[in-house]
Amino acid sequence: MAASRTTAVLRRLPGVAGAGLAGWLVDVSVLWVGHTALGVPVPIAAAAGFLAAGVVNYALNRRVFTAAGSAGGGRLRRYGLLFAANLAVVSVAVPLLADVVHTHLPAVPAALVAAKIAVTGLLLPVNTVVYGAWVFRDRSAPRAVPAGAPPAVPAGPATPAARATPVGPATPAARATPVGPATPVGPASPAGPAAERERTS
């Protein structure tokens, strides 16, 4: 998995570098023309240049990180958040660093451009990682299955529980057979010597 990620990064590296270079040229051009030719204050010129570069970067990096350059609302929102964070850093860091360069390194011919290069160099690796890991990540793509893990088997529809077989009506208990009238018992035969005399007489 690590090898595949490295391969993907190397495959996209020329595109990311080209997009970054194009955006940087737009950024520096707007900054330089805005401040030098038009007299726009440095923070505003820096923000305008970065805004123009952001449009170029998003359009080019979207084609690098997504197939056929397809747009996505989630990607655009995430890029907007990252762009806003970068804009705040650039608007503050470039003027401050330009003042430091102008004060301590007066021999540098273009302190503003030098400051812009330094800030861009600091933000470039951070943005490269965030682009691939968050901004242009395809969240609908299936996750990789770890090596050795059995493939997930989709569960079929739940089998309805077997219905209990209805039991028929209870069989009425067998009625007791009526017992007939008791047979009368005849008179008891006389016993003893009296009966013997009767038989002999």
Which pTM was predicted? 0.53
> Which residue is listed with tokens 């995430």?
78
Q: What is d(CA 131, CA 16) in angstroms, rounded to the nearest whole number?
A: 10
Residue 162: pLDDT band by 50, 70, 90 thresholds? very low
Q: Roughly how many angstroms between the first and final C-alpha of the chain, as a whole number?
A: 131
Give the residue, 108 or 159, on which the prediction is more confident: 108
Tell whether the model's pLDDT for residue 174 goes beyond 50: no
Tell whether the model's pLDDT for residue 111 goes beyond 60: yes
Work out the average pLDDT over 85-107.
Answer: 87
- Provide the pLDDT for residue 143: 53
Q: What is d(CA 94, CA 50) in angstroms, rounded to the nearest whole number?
A: 11
Q: What are the residue boundaries of the structural domains of the chain, listed by start?
A: 2-135
- Tens-digit pLDDT profile for residues 41-79: 988 998 899 889 888 988 888 887 775 445 566 888 898
Q: What is d(CA 187, CA 107) in angstroms, rounded to the nearest whole number?
A: 157
